[in-house]
């Protein structure tokens, strides 16, 4: 009886039962893990030390088949679902979380958003390059005066001028901003209408009037390039308006739900690596004549970390499965809005606890900048700030629950 209960149901791979992944999904995770360990992990230290961006990072990832995961095959992509792309993010985050963040900005915030909202003509122009990594993408929503209130306080404007729009304003904290070729940018076409007067545009880095004002230096995710972008009479062809004028809020809101769902596997991948490093350290570090893994207080931390990581996995995958079922044009409200905010809030807050214990297990070695666990520890805060802060996530969850 006991034996039977611990066995996988007939015909199912035990790994599938315990991880909740199908054999095909397991294959995606393992392939991305192998690639990231071999190719991305060796870049991580220099990226963190020097805020260095490997010049052909996205092309390297593309050549190995890990860009354009959700892109249909007619545009050169793999034609898989959002869940598969989240597994890539999870695997990349174990070995190089800075590149993983940049990859999510490229793959999800920019490319997936264009796939879901752009016209066939726009997709034909931009998707093939983005989907093979020869072009790097970014998304520009946040502004110096518009963070949590990104829509209401947005000051960037887009004025129609013949067959162009003229964009004026500043975007800040934009991941990939300093290295992006193609940017999905939000601006107000009818400022009097507030959030209902926002439109989305595809901007190329060489459009006149666009410039990178500065690259920002960060405490964590340091190799991922973050910048301030200026639109100074930037002329964007009217053909680059994504969707209809003044209908950008729908594009933003559905995109934000998927972005939150995609940040959870970043948290999960970092947490898995932190637990692995802590186990290795606990086994090898000796004090009082024995490995510190022999001490029950260290064992208690390891047990807590294991439980937290597994709980992150379940919630992360649950929210992603719900996103896979999201209908065209859905998101930005209702159950999906609530569960994606809840999953990323739980994942980020729990990662905080995992990393706190991981550094504690490493003792002084964990406090040293150049140790890997320290690099992971410095990543925590962004995951409680970007894609909507913890407070904004709570507002979303509670307002969805309280909606009459
Ligand atoms: C490294 C990095 C990368 C980023 N990448 C991108 C990107 O690629 N594209 C992009 O568009 N943006 C990006 N962002 C921006 C990110 O989404 C914002 O930083 C985030 O939404 C918070 O906005 P803010 O920093 O202006 O904080 P603020 O909105 O000023 O918030 C400050 C504090 O006030 C709290 N607060 C605000 N309003 C409320 C409220 N109503 N109730 C309770 N508390 C509240 C917040 O929770 C927070 O604690 C990035 C940010 C960073 C740091």
Q: Give pLDDT tens digits for 33-80.
A: 999 999 999 999 999 999 999 999 999 999 999 999 999 999 999 999
Question: Which residue has its alpha carbon closest to ligand 1 atom 42?
Answer: 391
Could you tell me the distance, in angstroms and rounded to a whole number, from the CA of residue 344 to the centre of ligand 1? 15
Whether the pLDDT of residue 172 is over 60: the answer is yes
Cα separation, 96 vs 356, whole angstroms: 19
Cα gap 28→255, rounded to integer Å:
24
Please list, residue by residue across 244-259, b when 16 or more beta carbons sit within 10 angstroms of its beta carbon and e when fewer do: ebebbbbbbebbbbbb
Pocket test for ligand 1, best of 187, 200, 385 (most atoms within 8 A of CB): 385
The pLDDT score that the predictor gives to residue 326 is 81
Supply the mean pLDDT for the chain. Answer: 94
243-253 average pLDDT score:
90
pLDDT of residue 327: 76
389 in contact with ligand 1, CB cutoff 6 A: yes
- pLDDT at 20 exceeding the cut of 90: no
| Local confidence band at 13 (pLDDT 50, 70, 90 cut-offs) | low
**DSSP run (H or E) holding 228:** strand 226-237
Closest by alpha carbon to 304, among 339, 329, 278, 322?
A: 278
What radius of gyration, in Å, describes the C-alpha atoms of the chain? 22
Is the minimum distance from the CB of 226 to ligand 1 under 6 angstroms?
yes
- Asked about 280 being catalytic, the answer comes back as no
Smallest CA-to-CA distance from 187 within 214, 151, 162 is with 151
Q: Choose, from 25, 51, 228, 259, the residue flagged as catalytic.
A: 259
Specify the 3-state DSSP secondary structure of 119. coil
CA distance 55 to 71: 23
Q: Are 351 and 382 in contact (CB under 8 A)?
A: no
Cα 398 from Cα 342, distance rounded (Å): 10
Whole-number pLDDT of residue 251: 84
For helices 248-284 and 97-104, the axis angle rounded to 10 degrees is 170
Could you tell me what percentage of the chain is helix, strand and coil, using 3-state DSSP and rounding each to the nearest 5? 60, 15, 25
Q: What is the pLDDT of residues 77-124, one digit of tens each?
A: 999 999 999 999 999 999 999 999 999 999 999 999 999 999 999 999
125 C-alpha vs ligand 1 centroid, how far in Å?
A: 32
Answer whether residue 5 shows pLDDT above 60: no
Cα separation, 304 vs 306, in Å, equals 5
Say if residue 201's pLDDT is above 80: yes
Indicate the helix (H) or strand (E) that contains 30: helix 23-35
* pLDDT tens digits, 285-333: 999 999 999 999 999 999 999 999 999 999 999 999 999 988 777 778 8
- The pLDDT-based confidence of 14 (bands split at 50, 70, 90) is low
**Position 252 pLDDT exceeds 90:** no
Whether pLDDT at 12 is above 60: no
Nearest to 145 by CA among 156, 131, 135: 156
Environment class of 10 (CB within 10 Å of its CB; exposed 0-12, middle 13-18, buried 19+): exposed
Does 8 score more than 80 pLDDT?
A: no
Contact criterion met (CB below 8 Å) for 255 and 329: no
- Greatest mean pLDDT among 16-30, 155-169, 237-251 lies in 155-169
Does the Cβ of 265 fall within 6 Å of ligand 1?
A: no
**Looking at residues 218-223, what average pLDDT do you find?**
98
């Amino acid at each position: 009886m006991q034996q039977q209960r611990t066995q996988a149901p007939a015909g199912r791979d035990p790994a599938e039962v315990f991880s909740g992944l199908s054999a095909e999904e397991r294959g995606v995770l393992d392939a991305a893990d192998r690639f990231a360990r071999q190719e991305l992990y060796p870049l991580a230290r220099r990226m963190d030390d020097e805020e260095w961006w490997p010049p052909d990072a996205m092309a390297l990832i593309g050549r190995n088949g890990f860009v354009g995961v959700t892109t249909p095959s007619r545009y050169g992509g793999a034609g898989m679902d959002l869940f598969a792309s989240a597994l890539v993010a999870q695997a990349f985050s174990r070995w190089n979380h800075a590149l993983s963040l940049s990859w999510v900005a490229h793959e999800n915030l920019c490319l997936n958003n264009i796939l879901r909202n752009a016209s066939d003509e726009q997709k034909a122009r931009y998707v093939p390059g983005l989907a093979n990594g020869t072009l790097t993408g970014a998304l520009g929503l946040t502004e110096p005066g518009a963070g949590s209130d990104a829509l209401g306080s947005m000051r960037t404007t887009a004025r129609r001028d013949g067959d162009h729009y003229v964009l004026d304003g500043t975007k800040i904290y934009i991941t990939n901003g300093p290295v992006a070729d193609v940017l999905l940018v939000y601006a107000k076409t009818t400022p009097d209408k507030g959030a209902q007067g926002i439109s989305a545009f595809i901007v190329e880095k060489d459009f006149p009037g666009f410039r990178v004002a500065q690259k920002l230096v960060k405490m964590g995710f340091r190799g991922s390039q973050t910048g301030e972008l200026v639109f100074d009479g930037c002329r964007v062809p009217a053909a680059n308006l994504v969707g209809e004028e003044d209908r950008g809020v729908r594009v933003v809101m559905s995109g934000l739900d998927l972005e939150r769902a995609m940040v959870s596997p970043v948290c999960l991948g970092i947490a898995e690596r932190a637990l692995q490093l802590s186990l290795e350290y606990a086994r090898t570090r000796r004090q009082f004549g024995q490995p510190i893994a022999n001490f029950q207080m260290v064992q208690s931390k390891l047990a807590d970390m294991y439980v937290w990581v597994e709980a992150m996995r379940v919630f992360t995958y649950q929210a992603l499965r719900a996103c896979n079922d999201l209908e065209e044009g859905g998101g930005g409200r209702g159950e999906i809005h609530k569960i994606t905010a809840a999953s990323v809030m739980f994942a980020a807050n729990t990662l905080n606890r995992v990393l706190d214990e991981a550094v504690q297990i490493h003792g002084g070695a964990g406090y040293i900048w150049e140790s890997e666990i320290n690099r992971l520890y410095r990543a925590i805060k962004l995951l409680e700030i970007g894609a909507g802060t913890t407070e904004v996530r709570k507002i979303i969850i509670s307002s969805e629950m309280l909606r009459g």
